A and B are shown apart, each in its own frame.
Chain A
């Protein structure tokens, strides 16, 4: 762990960046499952995303200065605490690898089709490793600047595209009941729940309230972005058009046309998106390196950033074979289950075990923190 102080705005920015995966594939998945109610699906995803993150917040350490890794040991005991921390280390590594793969696929599809994938991966991974070494303070401050670029490009997108949106494409609503929109929302809920990873850096914030504010605001903004993007894509292409697309966000960016003069704005849009995705990946490298440092009982996480980057980059290459397989895994495969197991099920278990400890403490037994406490 390092000596650092981060602001609420900085944490909101980096958490929003960590959700960037949710803007690539799940939108097409919603259209495939929920059909014309895809936009309802996005609303449900935004609401459920907040609920899942609220569970995350309820499972966080009671003491604001306690790191999550320590808290897991206090709640689960020394053996299971280490096991759960190893589980989260693997989760961070896999998510980092998946984020890198998303970046690689997007860049190779939309920007650099002839450039070998390995080169794209190295180009984005190495700076990520360097940035992660610089620490959470630098990452969050950079995120605040980059999010500004991202917001501006998103606004240009909305303004440029709005004349071409046909709102009748949002009809009919819920004609096949509520189940399809609910099922279609699950991958998006999973990616939104990644904003809950903010509790890993909670001690760097001023107080407990700032933490809550940052995580909930980031989730709400990310959810709103998903809703806006889904409404735009469905209004432009109808759900049938969305369903046919591998990455609707690229098609949306390519549809921006300002007065027949500015026609190729997609590169600018994708540039801003890539900056944010780069930060999301950097944050995950940072978390994984810290998790290794904690497991190795050292305060120095920096030596682990490059090994983590190399492992994640390797995972990005070997976990998935193609962009179509990645899309299928995210939209209808085990992605949602895998993520929600870490961001919803484990926090629920933590809440349950914490409740059990408190009851035992009230009746005279040992409470959390009495046993298996371990501070790096």
Chain B
């Protein structure tokens, strides 16, 4: 049995707790917020201004705005406003929304191509400083403008942000990169290094959302966009390709063109750097295991004698993709392979001399591509049923 004084103390403590616990200034009631899933950033109509576009989901079911942009109970609303800073534009959006904008569940930040080419430095501070943003959110570039891509897809996708997040997984499995915000920031500040982001576009014909390329950044500016093959090369060189990536190899066999699709898995890569007479040299080394998934033309290569034909086909496909990416990166003078960063890590004293003219040095340096692969499986059949141009 608790003594009377103890009971009084306990009562006082509970009363005090009740007094302070119910008055939380930071309480977030689900029916008083709109959850932002996608944040689009474009260049504003005035110089040095930004246009912020938010895709907001109303967990309560309806959101009214003074602008009348909201239809009959849509799941998500998209509103754009301009400001000199990101937060000023978000505040302008807040004036049109009767619930508190909540950024803690943001799935992806989309930069419009135009703003990305002008430079995104002014937008990064708030994304890093604000406590609600996570370093693990996705980041990408939208063809032309983020607003137009978001609006064109809003009718097809109920929650665009979640679809974009899911699409980044598929992008990694199909030869593109997917970049987290935290990693992007890290690569931007590394001396000499470039950063890459997936590029999204809406397909007007079928209303689909597509990953169309890989944007290469030097410092805070978009320098160029890699096409599909080059993007695959970048993803392979950086070792960020997910399992299931398919590459098509080509070969000439007994005067016949052979095409074979290989599924790649256990992809490992590293960038090896060295100095020869003070000159930097780099080698991109990729190792992977392949599975023959499809063969058009040719005969039975699953014999011990012809196994090497298949292996060289898959290796050549990888080499071609990486070479294409290297050539384009050198043309743009953007070190997306982080060779400069590796040099700084391994040869810090030599790097101090190289750093100043690194972009020119990178553009002219020799970059070797080494690929080592093993073909493990060939599927359930040995050879195509009909040989192209001969049988059938």
* Interface, chain A (partner B; CB < 8 A): 36, 109-116, 119, 122-123, 126, 130, 168, 171-172, 175, 236-238, 240-241, 244, 251, 254-255, 257, 260, 263-264
For the complex, give the distance between the alpha carbons of A69 and B342 in Å: 55
Contact with A along B1-22 (1 / 0, CB 8 A): 0000000000001001000100
A239 to chain B, nearest CB (A): 10
Which single residue of chain A is at the shortest CB-CB distance from B347? A172
B348 & A172 in contact (Cβ 8 Å cutoff): yes
Question: Would you list 6 pairs from A and B whose C-beta atoms are within 8 A, ordered by A residue?
Answer: A36-B345, A115-B24, A238-B190, A241-B182, A255-B135, A255-B136
Contact of B189 among A171, A241, A257 (CB under 8 A): A241
B186 & A113 in contact (Cβ 8 Å cutoff): no
B26 & A254 in contact (Cβ 8 Å cutoff): no
For the complex, give the distance between the alpha carbons of A282 and B177 in Å: 49
A263 & B189 in contact (Cβ 8 Å cutoff): no
B190 & A115 in contact (Cβ 8 Å cutoff): no
Which single residue of chain A is at the shortest CB-CB distance from B344? A172
Contact of A115 among B26, B189, B342 (CB under 8 A): B26
A119 & B25 in contact (Cβ 8 Å cutoff): yes
B25 & A168 in contact (Cβ 8 Å cutoff): no
A168 & B345 in contact (Cβ 8 Å cutoff): yes
A216 to chain B, nearest CB (A): 35
Which single residue of chain B is at the shortest CB-CB distance from A122? B20
Interface SS of chain B = helix
Contact of A263 among B13, B25, B131, B136 (CB under 8 A): B136
B135 & A251 in contact (Cβ 8 Å cutoff): yes
Q: Does B265 contact A (CB under 8 A)?
A: no
A236 & B345 in contact (Cβ 8 Å cutoff): no
B344 to chain A, nearest CB (A): 7
For the complex, give the distance between the alpha carbons of A112 and B24 in Å: 8
B186 & A171 in contact (Cβ 8 Å cutoff): no
**Assuming A172-B346, A238-B186, is B136 touching A110 (CB within 8 A)?**
no
Number of interface residues of B (CB under 8 A): 25
Which single residue of chain A is at the shortest CB-CB distance from B182? A255
A241 & B185 in contact (Cβ 8 Å cutoff): yes
For the complex, give the distance between the alpha carbons of A355 and B136 in Å: 57
A305 to chain B, nearest CB (A): 13
B385 to chain A, nearest CB (A): 41
Q: Does B349 contact A (CB under 8 A)?
A: yes
Contact of A172 among B20, B26, B345 (CB under 8 A): B345
The residues of A that contact B342 with a CB separation of less than 8 Å are: 168
Which single residue of chain A is at the shortest CB-CB distance from B185? A241
B19-35 CB contacts (< 8 Å) to partner A: 20, 24-26
The residues of A that contact B16 with a CB separation of less than 8 Å are: 126
The residues of A that contact B165 with a CB separation of less than 8 Å are: 260
A111 & B135 in contact (Cβ 8 Å cutoff): no
A171 & B346 in contact (Cβ 8 Å cutoff): yes
- Highest count of chain A CB atoms <10 Å: which of B24, B169, B348: B348
The residues of B that contact A251 with a CB separation of less than 8 Å are: 135, 182
**Assuming A130-B13, A172-B346, is B26 touching A240 (CB within 8 A)?**
no
A134 to chain B, nearest CB (A): 11
Which single residue of chain A is at the shortest CB-CB distance from B137? A263
B182 & A236 in contact (Cβ 8 Å cutoff): yes
Q: Does B134 contact A (CB under 8 A)?
A: yes
B29 to chain A, nearest CB (A): 13
Contact of A241 among B24, B186, B345 (CB under 8 A): B186
B73 to chain A, nearest CB (A): 28
The residues of A that contact B344 with a CB separation of less than 8 Å are: 172
Q: Does B104 contact A (CB under 8 A)?
A: yes
B24 & A171 in contact (Cβ 8 Å cutoff): no
Which single residue of chain B is at the shortest CB-CB distance from A266? B134
The residues of A that contact B169 with a CB separation of less than 8 Å are: 260
Which single residue of chain A is at the shortest CB-CB distance from B345? A171
A254 & B134 in contact (Cβ 8 Å cutoff): yes
For the complex, give the distance between the alpha carbons of A119 and B16 in Å: 12
The residues of B that contact A236 with a CB separation of less than 8 Å are: 182
The residues of B that contact A115 with a CB separation of less than 8 Å are: 24-26
Give 10 nearest A-B pairs by CB, closest first: A171-B345, A175-B348, A115-B25, A114-B25, A172-B348, A112-B26, A257-B136, A114-B26, A240-B189, A255-B135
